[in-house]
Amino acid sequence: MKPIIGCVLLLTLLLTACLPTTPVTVPLPTPWLVTPNPNATLTPTPFRPAPAATPTLLTLPPAPAPTLPAATPVNVPLSQPSGVRPHYTFYVNLDYHTHQVAAQEVIQYPNQTGVPLERLVLSVQPNLWTGCFTLSSLTQNDRPLTATLDGQRMDVILPTPLQPGETITLAVGFQLNLPPKKFEGTFGFLGYQVNLTNWYPFVVPYDPAQGWILHDPWPFGEHLVYDAADFDLYLQLAEGSEDVIIAASSPGVAENGWTHYHLEGARTFALSASDQFKIAESALGAIPIRSYYFGKQGAGERLASAATQALAIFQARFGPYPYSSLSIVATESPDGQEFDGLVFLSEEFYEQYQGGIKNNLVSIGVHEIAHQWWFGLVGNDQALEPWLDEALATYSERVFYEYYDLTSWWWGFRVNYFSPAGWVDTNVYDGIAFRPYTNAVYLRGAKFMEALRLRIGDEAFFAFLQDYAGRYGRRRVAAADFFAVLHEHTSADVSDIVGAYFKHAP
């Protein structure tokens, strides 16, 4: 079943040479709308309801140091060589109080597809909101380009086909009139916060077999697929916004009146701004970890320490953390949401927090942090094969809690409470409701990973995960890749396990 999209008008935008001085307002199509269901439990990361009046408090020494297994060296380089990834440079002015963004974006796109490209297809998520996105210029070497803008999709017609191995440089000028943030999403403004997520045009992946990969939005789960890219963002805060604190996908450095953010090999660059952030800081080696929060101090501090432990455990188990910093940011939402180097967590989790790590705050926080490996480092099609990031991120929670001897508690709290059923390889468009979807993909996904681990043993299981993360770091995987690497690490027959959990055995 495919999502029903509101009637959208195909718009052709012809940009002329005078555009930089005469901004053209692109007529906006009817936005895609989600009608919030007040009774729904929409959450990309399923969580258990808040504990009742008498929560069990766990006495935990502050910042306990778990005994970590020695990390097995990964023989495969984590990064592609530089120059093969798209590069995005932004000059951004953010007016926090009026919710306005003015941006100049330069996209350097190397054609790594192996075939000539007559066009580029860009995702423009802000155009899904009425009156949010205005394209003011689109040029190549100062020559205007022709583009069509249709909902979230912009087709840029190239004057001459981009040959394999060639790189094209596009300049895109745009403004955002940010919308109020929906409870279920992250993009937009609240009275005390501005979140910039999937906020700029980016080139979606091209696959010679599938074409351009830009799936329809869906009320739950994620629909975007990303190539890994490099980012340089130069940010200026508008007059009157100087008191605002910025959380970002990478650390910021002051440079000539700008704050410069650099991020390599990531799927997307996210920002959150607030004049009311409180910050709890930690670090793992050279990796700064910052928890940006509004509510209880204990919750914000607990997240900073739990994130530090999670990074240490996951580095030992999966391979090096892929980024240079980590920001954990509270926002008004029902759940958590991952981006590269930055994750969002529901303010409700902070409010529910009663101490310890047996709660949504830490389990969902750890889940989103695990996505730095399973989403950020190893990319996948989040709409059609969501288990490749969600099952692994959920199972990573178990990997975290086993260091605290809380494995049984975790299975009960996060998985068995829901009596999960369904196929792990369910996709977001399969036509089932949110809860059965997450039960199948996330929770049965975790059980599938546990069954694999029991069958092949810890040593082969974690060697497989490290090899998989290393080999497919900064790339995108499909189910077949997952199983191909698995079979290199075990001769065990796992076909009965696959048959029990997968509708279509890969």
Positions touching Zn ion (CB under 5 A) are: 45, 390, 393
8 Å CB contact between 202 and 123? yes
**How many C-beta neighbours within 10 Å does residue 55 have?**
15
Place of tokens 């020494």: 61
For residues 85 and 215, which CB has a smaller minimum distance to Zn ion in the complex? 215
From the number of C-beta atoms within 10 Å of its C-beta (0-12, 13-18, 19+), residue 90 rates as buried
φ/ψ of 102, rounded to 5, equals: -115, 130
Report the distance separating Cα 249 and Cα 251, nearest Å: 7
For residues 162 and 310, which CB has a smaller minimum distance to Zn ion in the complex? 310
Q: Tokens representing 264?
A: 């390599």
**Which one, of 390, 478, 503, lies nearest residue 213 by Cα?**
478
For residues 149 and 393, which CB has a smaller minimum distance to Zn ion in the complex? 393
For residues 264 and 390, which CB has a smaller minimum distance to Zn ion in the complex? 390
CB of 211 to Zn ion, least distance (A): 27
For residues 126 and 336, which CB has a smaller minimum distance to Zn ion in the complex? 336
8 Å CB contact between 320 and 286? no
For residues 138 and 393, which CB has a smaller minimum distance to Zn ion in the complex? 393
The per-residue b/e assignment along 441-473, b for 16 or more CB within 10 angstroms, e otherwise, is bbbbbbbbbbbbbeebeeebbbbbbbbbbbbbb
For residues 224 and 460, which CB has a smaller minimum distance to Zn ion in the complex? 224
CB of 220 to Zn ion, least distance (A): 11
CB of 414 to Zn ion, least distance (A): 12
CB of 101 to Zn ion, least distance (A): 27
**Which one, of 267, 319, 268, lies nearest residue 468 by Cα?**
319
CB of 95 to Zn ion, least distance (A): 32
CB of 389 to Zn ion, least distance (A): 6
CB of 393 to Zn ion, least distance (A): 4
DSSP 3-state assignment of 262? Answer: strand
